[in-house]
Amino acid sequence: MTDIAINVTGLVKKFNHKIVVNNVDLCLPTGQVWGFLGPNGSGKTTTIRMLCGLLKPDAGQGQCLDLDLLTHSEQIKRQTGYMTQKFSFWDDMTINENLAFVARMYCLPEKAATVNRTLAKLGLTERRHQLAGNLSGGWKQRLALAAVTMHQPKLLLLDEPTAGVDPQARRDFWDEIHHLSDQGMTILVSTHYMDEAERCDRIVYLAHGNIITQGTVKQVIKQAKLITFKATGTGIRSIGKKIKGLAGINHSGYFGSALHISGHQRELLQQAIQQCQQPNVQWQEVDTSLEDTFIELMSQAGVDQRQY
């Protein structure tokens, strides 16, 4: 393999004449973890399905794992692991039975030994005889990750894999993701969690089927050119309602017990703060967060103009 796992240009996909993905270019180096961000309906899942050979692009070209995206979809599938948004394995089968079935589908050698190694690697051995349908969200997630990596794919595509699971399960999941990356696997993961996006080598932001920006987290935040102030103290809830509509405030939002306001002109932000100043509230300029940037990018993307 080359040092590029995915190199595609101009990907387009339409459903019933609606443009869902519009001219998407991606170039992912081997062994990196990339985050795929964007609001619901932005085209992330459709792009992922084109990359792994499940959907054929209406336009565009490129390679995935040194294989032509348009003509070698079956070979791409066999070298890719794809974890869907919704748990897609069999509820009425045990963990062991699910993995054994997947091993047979991929015609893996030494199937029983491979299943045993996979169970041990993902901490599933003690639960191997539990029905998948009786597992919690975190354990279902772990089973799904075991199933899509058992054939040792070169590329792993994860579509909102940690939605609805507890913080410890998410942390354990990401520890495993980085372990796989350290072994040379390339990973593209779509997520709405900003703390997960910050764990990625690079992020790509998609809106209305178009790539709006991409780069490291620091680069994406810097490109937004936002200035952010934080308010702490008592009474900030009442300030939040008043300050939201003032000139220069692109957006405001609560972060725990603090209020963040962001905009592009420091002078206007400071004027807004003066208009809403209260004795028990302290303001300070802070680094713009990825969440602040995400909200700004959503605002810049505007109304979805794709053809329906």
295 falls within a domain:
no
Q: Quick one: pLDDT at residue 306?
A: 62
Does the pLDDT value for residue 227 go beyond 90?
yes
292 falls within a domain:
no
186 falls within a domain:
yes
Mean pLDDT of 239-246: 86
- Considering the chain, what is the average pLDDT of its residues? 92
136 falls within a domain:
yes
Confidence tier at 305 by pLDDT (50, 70, 90): low
Does the pLDDT value for residue 237 go beyond 90?
no
Question: 72 exposed, middle or buried (CB, 10 Å; 0-12, 13-18, 19+)?
Answer: middle
Residue that terminates a domain, selected from 189, 220, 251:
220
Q: Quick one: pLDDT at residue 2?
A: 59
Q: Quick one: pLDDT at residue 307?
A: 56
Does the pLDDT value for residue 308 go beyond 80?
no
Q: Quick one: pLDDT at residue 283?
A: 94
**For the domain that residue 164 is a member of, what is the CATH number?**
3.40.50.300
Mean pLDDT of 103-114: 94
Beta-bridge partners for 168: none
What lies within 8 Å, CB to CB, of 203 at 6+ separation is: 34, 35, 36, 37, 197, 214, 215, 216, 217, 220
Task: Tell me the per-residue pLDDT of 73-95, one tens digit each, with 9 for 90 and over.
Answer: 999 999 999 999 888 899 999 99
Mean pLDDT of 145-172: 91
Task: Tell me the per-residue pLDDT of 262-286, one tens digit each, with 9 for 90 and over.
Answer: 999 999 999 999 998 888 899 999 9
Mean pLDDT of 194-205: 94
- Residues 20 and 103 both lie in one domain: yes
- Residues 154 and 16 both lie in one domain: yes
Q: Quick one: pLDDT at residue 119?
A: 95
Asked if 107 contacts 151 with a C-beta cutoff of 8 angstroms, the reply is no
Q: Quick one: pLDDT at residue 245?
A: 84
This prediction has a pTM of: 0.89
- Residues 88 and 194 both lie in one domain: yes
Q: Quick one: pLDDT at residue 26?
A: 96
List the one residue out of 230, 213, 201 whose CA is nearest residue 296.
Answer: 213
List the one residue out of 286, 298, 291, 296 whose CA is nearest residue 225.
Answer: 296
Task: Tell me the per-residue pLDDT of 9-58, one tens digit each, with 9 for 90 and over.
Answer: 999 999 988 899 999 999 999 999 999 999 888 999 999 999 999 999 99
Which residue range is the domain that position 8 belongs to?
4-220
- Residues 271 and 209 both lie in one domain: no
- Residues 120 and 232 both lie in one domain: no
306 falls within a domain:
no
- Residues 45 and 65 both lie in one domain: yes
Q: Quick one: pLDDT at residue 278?
A: 87
- Residues 65 and 126 both lie in one domain: yes
Mean pLDDT of 166-172: 87
Task: Annotate 113-151 with b (16+ C-beta within 10 A) or e (fewer).
Answer: ebbeebbeebebeebbeeebeebeebbbbbbbbbbbbbb
* pLDDT, greater one: 95 or 299: 95
Number of domains in the chain: 2
Q: Quick one: pLDDT at residue 40?
A: 86
- Tokens, residue 153: 């794919």
